[in-house]
Amino acid sequence: MSLNAVVSDVESSFGAVEPEAPDRVAALVGRLKRKYQGCITAEAVTPAQPGRYQPIPDHLDPRLRAALQSRGIRELYSHQAQAWRVLHEGAHCVIATPTASGKTMCFNGPVLNAALQHEAKALYLFPTKALAQDQVAELMELNRAAELGVRAYTFDGDTPSDARQAVRTKGDIVVTNPDMLHQAILPHHTKWAQFFQSLRFIVIDEVHSYRGVFGAHVANVLRRLQRICDFYGVRPQYICCSATIGNPQQHAQALTGLPMHAICDSGAPRGASHLLFWNPPPINPDLGIRASARSQVSKLARLTLKAGLKAIVFAQSRLMVEVLTKYLKDVFDHDPRKPARVRAYRGGYLPDERRLTEKLMRQGAIDAIVSTSALELGVDIGSLDVALLCGYPGSIAATRQRLGRAGRRQQSALGVMVASSDALDQFVVRNPSYFLDQSPEHARIDPDQLLILLDHIRCAAFELPFTEADRYGERDIREFLEYLSEEGVLHRDGARWHWIDDSYPANAINLRSVADGNFVVVDRTNGKQTIIAEVDYSSAALTLYEGAIYMVQSVPWQVEKLDWVGRKAYVTRTHVDYYTDAIDYTRLKPLAEFGQAQSGEGAAQHGEVHVVRRVTGYKKIRYYSHENIGYGPVNLPDQELQTTSVWWRLSPQAIDREFRTRFEALDGFLGAAYALHTVATLLSMCEPRDLGKAVGSGDNDWSAQVSSKGRGEMRSASGEVLDVNAVAEFAPAVYLYDNYPGGIGLSRPLFERREELLSAAIGLVSGCRCGPGCPACVGPILSGDEQRAPKSSALRVLALLRVPEGAAAERIEFAALPAPGLH
């Protein structure tokens, strides 16, 4: 999408953008601008766009033409017509147009036409079961409209085994997800031989969601699919659909390994949309403390609902979804006799609960829905007027997707991005041009991650033997095959490697996360045992420790017992006035070094590291006041991770020379880590959680973090707090690491662009107008602690690491942007 944005600095053009015809959204925008001028740092208006149309092409089967006409479709949007033309010419294509621009018609038309005229088959891949089911419902509607007789079936975990045979042999269109393709279809491809032999189209929707680790897995599943297609002698055409990302063509090509024709110019009509950047008012400007994003969002939601408009609220975490839902329910749902106007929606809820919420939304029975990124995808929830983002989602693409949830109809819509006090949020809200002028991030995948590659080579070898000459992706994988032979999994016989193991490798590989085993949350209030939610392995330690308050639809349960091995958390209903937040710390140990370079008075390194994350306790936080009302201990197994990292260390001499105390140096390293993490996130165009940060000694002797009291604190490998001055050698290092087992390819480019990264971090910190340091530069400082100056210490650490003059550090755009400051 080229956001035809009219950017205006609020001060200079207040009131310049007036709505032509007063509508309720525009009225709300006007009210917000009058009342909360100081909070709005930028406004952008995308004017309404009329539709552009083209006739339905002549080569279309008359039955299909009739079906379209019976549903009132007499012409196509220009991008639909373009897709049909490209596909008719035999090319692969990727369609990247906004939400609700009629993307499905881009592929359904050609697929149905080929099914009618050539009995050609199609495979549809959707990232989730729910999206697949929506799709089949839509296809069947079109099908019924003119009795086309095309058979479309979903094939997923819910498909009964006696129906599977019919899907395999009779389905013209099989709609499934990458997980089923990986675990059930490809390993049993011979049963699908008939289907594969006539396979003509492969449709992959929501390709932007296949990035990072999941994307690397899916790219490998598609390589396996390609091998199977080659085996059956077919060359299907690929049709990919994507939300707005910076590189739809390149991403679809990386995912499929095939050249793609990109269609990005939407011909669908659009209503006008308003976008406001909202910075909560400062409370303590010197410490950079502002009113919370949470309180601002709940105020904006109240104003939206009172104006008779419907809102979707996006929160950054599952916990925040529950907290915000509670605040809104306290206002709008205090009468239990009336149907709820506010509902929460997030991963971890049981499917039925989510389906119900989707249905209620479509029916217009709910006025506000509070969600995590779970609703970024195209789950059909009907039309909404206002999208409120509690915190910057971490990427331009995700922000646009969330904002795109408002304004499906041809009427005005409003999106408000409310910044938290985090550095990334503050950077974006103070430098709106970063968001408004830049194209969205590039989706990144690196399918050749060691462990992921090895996993899928296993699966591929199970599906078909490898020969000497075989390529897998672009790679010569003989070394992997030799390794698997040594493990006794493959047997080499002349020029072929055969699978001889007794296992079914796909069962051991989960595309969604590396560590397997979801936890179930079991409610045993009143002696019954009911499952109320599911939590994935990686977040279990942070949300299901004993004593934790676990919320579903903002109703609190308390975790009484966590059965780690059995993957169960037992909870009972409770009525407390607080929620809980885990305290964790991380230590790292380098295992192998891939690259090293001098960096000022220290060194920069890139390599493989072992990361241990431990949850040590939790805080109890009271609702509304957000004061900390207590702590609890947690005793859980460590979370371990082996991944790639980039790190910096200074010579002990430089530290001794430049810092009066070790405390000061430690503050400096922690502040530098905070700033480096922020700029690395922007530079990598990844989400903040994809990248981990840590400070510690290089040899795993100790690690450092900001304690609950806001100060630097050192802990030994076994977790005890250490005295900074008692450590024999004090040589801290600051690490940025890929936050996934095996790595996802973020740290290597960071190592290569280290100069740029350091300059940008220095720019971020030195340009911040706070005093001692603040959440927007080196991390929050508690009030009453202003005599510390982590900001200047962090600047010293960063400056010492920078290569001195001569080796001209490139300046990136980031550093050239206006220095951030408080208003």
Partner 1 sequence: MLDLRARLGQLRGQTAPAVVTPDAEWSERLARLRLLARERQGHTPQDTPALPGVELAPGLRLHEVRVSALRLKLAGLDLPDALRPPWDPESTVAIDQLRLFDTETSGLCGGAGLKVFLLGVLRWQGDGWLLRQYLMTSPAAEEALVRAWVDECAGDAHLVSYNGKRFDVPAMRTLETLHGLASRAHEAAHWDLLYPVRRAFRGVWSDCRLVTAERMLVGRERHDDLPGSEAPRAWREFLARGHTRDLLRVMQHNRYDLEALLRVFKAMLQVPASAPRVPVRKGRIPKSKAA
Q: By the criterion CB under 8 A, which residues form the site for partner 1?
A: 187-191, 193, 450-451, 454, 461-465, 479-480, 483, 488, 491, 493-494, 496, 498-505, 507, 514-517, 537, 565, 591-592, 594, 608, 637, 640-642, 741-742
Give me the least distance between CB of 765 and Zn ion, in Å please.
Answer: 7
Residue 451 C-beta-side C-alpha neighbours within 13 Å: 19
Give me the least distance between CB of 76 and partner 1, in Å please.
Answer: 40
User: Which residues are bridge partners to 202 per DSSP?
Assistant: 123, 238
Nearer Cβ to partner 1, position 283 or 500? 500
Name which of partner 1, Zn ion, none residue 777 binds, using a CB cut-off of 5 to 8 Å depending on partner kind: Zn ion
Give me the least distance between CB of 545 and partner 1, in Å please.
Answer: 17
Name which of Zn ion, partner 1, none residue 640 binds, using a CB cut-off of 5 to 8 Å depending on partner kind: partner 1
Distances (CA, A) of 217 to 155, 156, 224, 445, 509: 20, 18, 11, 9, 9
Q: CA nearest 241: which of 272, 266, 214?
A: 266
Residue 296 C-beta-side C-alpha neighbours within 13 Å: 27
Strands laid side by side in the 568-573 sheet? 530-535, 519-523, 568-573, 555-563, 549-552
Residues near 411 by Cβ (< 8 Å), separated by ≥ 6?
23, 25, 271, 385
Name which of Zn ion, partner 1, none residue 109 binds, using a CB cut-off of 5 to 8 Å depending on partner kind: none
**Cα(199)–Cα(759) distance, integer angstroms:** 52
Give me the least distance between CB of 770 and Zn ion, in Å please.
Answer: 3
Give me the least distance between CB of 182 and partner 1, in Å please.
Answer: 12
Nearer Cβ to partner 1, position 452 or 764? 452
Name which of Zn ion, partner 1, none residue 770 binds, using a CB cut-off of 5 to 8 Å depending on partner kind: Zn ion
Nearer Cβ to partner 1, position 137 or 193? 193
Nearer Cβ to partner 1, position 491 or 619? 491
Name which of partner 1, Zn ion, none residue 768 binds, using a CB cut-off of 5 to 8 Å depending on partner kind: Zn ion
Nearer Cβ to partner 1, position 147 or 493? 493
Give me the least distance between CB of 464 and partner 1, in Å please.
Answer: 7
Phi, psi angle pair for 258, to nearest 5°: -130, 155
User: Which residues are bridge partners to 247 per DSSP?
Assistant: none
Give me the least distance between CB of 499 and partner 1, in Å please.
Answer: 4
Nearer Cβ to partner 1, position 198 or 572? 198
Structure tokens at 530: 């009911």
Binding site for Zn ion (CB under 5 A): 768, 770, 774, 776-777
Query: What is the chain's length?
Result: 823
Name which of partner 1, Zn ion, none residue 474 binds, using a CB cut-off of 5 to 8 Å depending on partner kind: none
**Cα(342)–Cα(365) distance, integer angstroms:** 9
Name which of Zn ion, partner 1, none residue 626 binds, using a CB cut-off of 5 to 8 Å depending on partner kind: none
The three-state secondary structure class of 97 is: coil
Nearer Cβ to partner 1, position 137 or 450? 450
Nearer Cβ to partner 1, position 53 or 594? 594
Give me the least distance between CB of 372 and partner 1, in Å please.
Answer: 24
Give me the least distance between CB of 604 and partner 1, in Å please.
Answer: 16
**Cα(206)–Cα(229) distance, integer angstroms:** 22
**Cα(260)–Cα(264) distance, integer angstroms:** 12
Nearer Cβ to Zn ion, position 432 or 780? 780
CB contact at 8 A, 76 and 84: yes
Name which of Zn ion, partner 1, none residue 537 binds, using a CB cut-off of 5 to 8 Å depending on partner kind: partner 1
Amino acid 555 reads V
Q: Tell me, what DSSP letter sits at residue 151?
A: -
Nearer Cβ to partner 1, position 601 or 608? 608
Nearer Cβ to Zn ion, position 414 or 768? 768
Query: Which strand (E) or helix (H) includes residue 40?
Result: strand 40-46
Give me the least distance between CB of 421 and Zn ion, in Å please.
Answer: 10
Nearer Cβ to Zn ion, position 39 or 777? 777
Name which of partner 1, Zn ion, none residue 479 binds, using a CB cut-off of 5 to 8 Å depending on partner kind: partner 1
Name which of partner 1, Zn ion, none residue 741 binds, using a CB cut-off of 5 to 8 Å depending on partner kind: partner 1
**Helical H segments across 210-292, by residue range:** 212-231, 248-256
Buried b (16+ CB within 10 A) or exposed e, 365-388: ebbbbbbbbbbbbbbbbebbbbbb
Give me the least distance between CB of 583 and partner 1, in Å please.
Answer: 22
Give me the least distance between CB of 318 and partner 1, in Å please.
Answer: 22
What is the separation, in whole angstroms, between the first and last Cα of the chain? 31
Name which of Zn ion, partner 1, none residue 341 binds, using a CB cut-off of 5 to 8 Å depending on partner kind: none
Name which of Zn ion, partner 1, none residue 450 binds, using a CB cut-off of 5 to 8 Å depending on partner kind: partner 1
The three-state secondary structure class of 183 is: helix
Judged by phi (left if over 0) then psi (alpha if -120 to 50, else beta), residue 100 lies in: left
Give me the least distance between CB of 490 and Zn ion, in Å please.
Answer: 56
Burial class (CB in 10 A: 0-12, 13-18, 19+), 105: buried
Compute the Cα dihedral for 355, 361, 367, 371 and give only its sign. Answer: positive
Give me the least distance between CB of 257 and partner 1, in Å please.
Answer: 22
**Cα(202)–Cα(237) distance, integer angstroms:** 6
**Cα(704)–Cα(697) distance, integer angstroms:** 8
Q: CA nearest 414: which of 820, 821, 28, 3?
A: 28
CB contact at 8 A, 183 and 218: no
CB contact at 8 A, 173 and 111: yes
Name which of Zn ion, partner 1, none residue 491 binds, using a CB cut-off of 5 to 8 Å depending on partner kind: partner 1
Name which of partner 1, Zn ion, none residue 16 binds, using a CB cut-off of 5 to 8 Å depending on partner kind: none
**Cα(348)–Cα(535) distance, integer angstroms:** 5
Nearer Cβ to partner 1, position 133 or 159? 159
